[in-house]
């Protein structure tokens, strides 16, 4: 073998190797799963319910934490960096999100799950006049806005699976309508005057408006001061005035202020509602649908005469 032949074989080998690498990368790019990052577990569950097995999802705010008070960590920048799309609630609950995105990729593809919803507005505290973000507590808003917005964003990201996302959205919308009728049936056990829902954070306005409850809370949104003496005194007045049967704490907030209210008014704490976070896997709050069933069952059980 002369030198020239060795060189030829060498170059041929190199070209073959390059081809293999290029083909392999191409194959990888085609089969690599799309990643959607969501802001917190409740949004994540709604996105997963449409995305099914076609898209991998992950969320930023850990289970049990308040999305209002979240402070991003370096690992969240990595999550954003690896995301093909970010889906968020909007209505001001993720005030930390814009900075996080701008620090990683200002061109990041984003979709707002509450697009088109006419929100209620906060009427007290330092966020007075800004939207109340907890719209997911009205299942009809989830059916008519969250799911279609999520569906359209996923189709835009992954048009090849359009029919799959449309079909799953329809199935999920059917479940939400069933949930709505189930809630109406369950609540028939409660007389009008028993329909007062008292929680630590005023996270249940959309639920209360949809199902004709009066709402009581210590603070209106987690971003406020939580549990000042004045806030507690005002709630104690409301509870005495309306002869409320039970009050509730939430899984994602401090229970102490409500314990103080319960002691001062001598009425029981009915139990823990899920508000801004799903529960752990295996718990009664592990999906949005289960969380709603848990909340409604607990409310009825605790407020029934
Ligand atoms: Zn909240």
Q: pLDDT truncated to tens, each residue of the chain (305 aa)?
A: 455 554 455 555 554 544 455 455 544 444 578 999 999 999 999 999 999 999 999 999 999 999 999 999 999 999 999 999 999 999 999 999 999 999 999 999 999 999 999 999 999 888 899 999 999 999 999 999 999 999 999 999 999 999 999 999 999 999 999 999 999 999 999 999 999 999 999 999 999 999 999 999 999 999 878 899 999 999 999 999 999 999 999 998 999 999 999 999 999 999 999 999 999 999 999 999 999 999 999 999 999 97
Write the CATH number of the domain with boundaries 189-303.
Answer: 3.40.50.1980
pLDDT of residue 47: 98
How many angstroms separate the alpha carbon of residue 222 from the centre of ligand 1? 5
Nearest-CA neighbor of 79 among 63, 95, 56, 113? 56
User: Ion ligand 1 — residues with CB under 5 Å?
Assistant: 203, 222, 276
pLDDT of residue 28: 47
How many angstroms separate the alpha carbon of residue 47 from the centre of ligand 1? 19
CATH topology of domain 34-184: Rossmann fold (3.40.50)
How many angstroms separate the alpha carbon of residue 223 from the centre of ligand 1? 8
- Which pair of tokens denotes residue 9? 């074989």
Q: How far apart are CA 161 and CA 72, in angstroms?
A: 32
pLDDT of residue 83: 98
How many angstroms separate the alpha carbon of residue 134 from the centre of ligand 1? 6
How many angstroms separate the alpha carbon of residue 261 from the centre of ligand 1? 20
How many angstroms separate the alpha carbon of residue 8 from the centre of ligand 1? 68
pLDDT of residue 2: 52
pLDDT of residue 127: 87
- The DSSP string of the chain is --HHHHHHHHHHHHHHHHHHHHHHHHHHHHHSPEEEEESSHHHHHHHHHHHTTTEEEEESSPTTS-GGG----HHHHHHHHT-SEEEE--TTS-TTHHHHHHHH-TT--EEETTTT----B--SSTTTTSBP--GGGSHHHIIIIIHHHHHHHHHHH-GGGHHHHHHHHHHHHHHHHHHHHHHHHHHTTS-GGG-EEEEEE-TTHHHHHHTT-EEEEEESSTTS--S-HHHHHHHHHHHHHHT-S-EEEETTS-SHHHHHHHHHHT--EEEEEP-SSPPPTTSTTSSHHHHHHHHHHHHHHHH--
How many angstroms separate the alpha carbon of residue 248 from the centre of ligand 1? 14
pLDDT of residue 233: 96
Interior/surface letters 159-194, b for 16+ CB within 10 angstroms, e for the rest: eebeebbeebbeebbeebeebbeebeebbeebeeeb
How many angstroms separate the alpha carbon of residue 16 from the centre of ligand 1? 58
How many angstroms separate the alpha carbon of residue 67 from the centre of ligand 1? 7
How many angstroms separate the alpha carbon of residue 253 from the centre of ligand 1? 9
* β-sheet bridge partners, residue 36: 57, 85
pLDDT of residue 5: 52
How many angstroms separate the alpha carbon of residue 83 from the centre of ligand 1? 25
pLDDT of residue 4: 56
pTM of this structure: 0.89
**Considering Cα of 291, then 221, then 213, then 244, what sign does the dihedral take?**
positive
């Amino acid at each position: 073998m002369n030198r020239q032949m060795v060189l030829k074989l060498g170059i041929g080998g190199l070209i073959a190797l390059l081809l293999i690498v290029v083909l392999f990368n191409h194959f990888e790019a085609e089969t690599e799963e799309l990643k959607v990052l969501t802001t917190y577990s409740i949004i994540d569950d709604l996105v997963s319910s449409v995305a099914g097995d076609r898209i991998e999802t992950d969320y930023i705010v850990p289970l049990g934490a308040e999305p209002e008070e979240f402070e991003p960590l370096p690992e969240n920048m990595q999550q954003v960096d690896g995301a093909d799309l970010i889906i968020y609630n909007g209505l001001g609950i993720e005030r930390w999100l814009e900075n996080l995105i701008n620090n990683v990729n200002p061109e990041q593809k984003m979709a707002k799950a509450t697009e088109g919803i006419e929100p209620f507005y906060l009427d007290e505290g330092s966020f007075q006049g800004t939207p109340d973000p907890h719209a997911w507590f009205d299942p009809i808003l989830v059916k008519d806005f969250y799911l279609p917005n999520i569906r359209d964003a996923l189709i835009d990201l992954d048009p090849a699976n359009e029919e799959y996302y449309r079909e799953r959205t329809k199935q999920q919308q059917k479940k939400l309508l069933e949930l709505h009728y189930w809630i109406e049936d369950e609540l028939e056990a409660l007389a009008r005057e028993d329909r007062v829902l008292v929680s630590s954070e005023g996270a249940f306005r959309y639920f209360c408006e949809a199902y004709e409850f009066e709402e009581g809370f210590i603070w209106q949104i987690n971003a406020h001061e939580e549990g000042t003496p004045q806030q507690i005194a005002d709630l104690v007045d409301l509870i005495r005035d309306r002869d409320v049967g039970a009050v509730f704490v939430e899984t994602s907030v401090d229970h102490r202020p409500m314990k103080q209210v319960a002691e001062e008014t001598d009425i029981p704490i009915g139990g823990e509602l899920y508000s801004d976070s799903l529960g752990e896997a295996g718990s009664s709050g592990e999906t949005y649908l289960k969380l709603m069933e848990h909340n409604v069952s607990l409310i009825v059980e605790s407020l029934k005469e």
